Amino acid sequence: MTDIDWDELRQVATDAMRRAYAPYSQYKVGAAALVDDGRIVAGCNIENASYGVTLCAECALVGDLFMSGGGRLVAFSCVNGDGETIMPCGRCRQLLFEHASPGMLLETVSGVRTIDEVLPDAFGPYDLRHSAAREAAR
C-alpha cells in the first residue's frame, strides 16, 4: 500500500479535532490513521480536570483501531486547532509504535517520515519477548 491519500487523512484528522474536549489548554488535536485493511481510524484529545489524566488524540485513535476491528497502522496524520500538522508527543510515538505496520509513515512538520525515524531504537514488544526467552533458558 504505497499510495497514501494524505489530504484525506488530514481532513479526517481535522474533523476529529472539531470533536476535541480541551477546556483547559484550549489546544484541540485530531489524529487519523490508515489501517492495513484500508480502514481509517481517528481520535481527538479528551482533557480532564485532573490534568495528567488527559487523553491525547492518539489514545482515542488506538481505541478506535481496536473497537473497529484491530489491525496495523500504515499512515498517520495529526493536526491542531488551526489544521496545522503537529508531531505526536513522545508518549504517543511509543503508543503508535506498538500498533505500527513495518515502515509506518507519519506526516510530520519536516515531511513524511517513518515510525523508526521519529522513535529510533524503540523499546517494544520484542524486548519483552527477548528477555522472557532469556529467562526461560536459565
Q: Which residues are catalytic?
A: 58
* CA-wise closest residue to 32 among 67, 48, 52, 8: 8
The smaller minimum CB distance to ligand THU, of residues 24 and 129, is found at 24
Q: Which is nearer to ligand THU, 56 or 119 (CB)?
A: 56
Cα→Cα distances 129→24, 56, 72, 94, Å: 40, 28, 19, 17
What residues make contact with ligand THU under the rule CB under 6 A?
Answer: 22, 25, 27, 29, 45, 47, 54, 56-58, 88-89, 92
Shortest Å distance, C-beta 129 to ligand THU = 27
Number of Cβ within 10 Å of residue 55's Cβ equals 16
Smallest distance, Å, CB 11 to ligand THU? 18
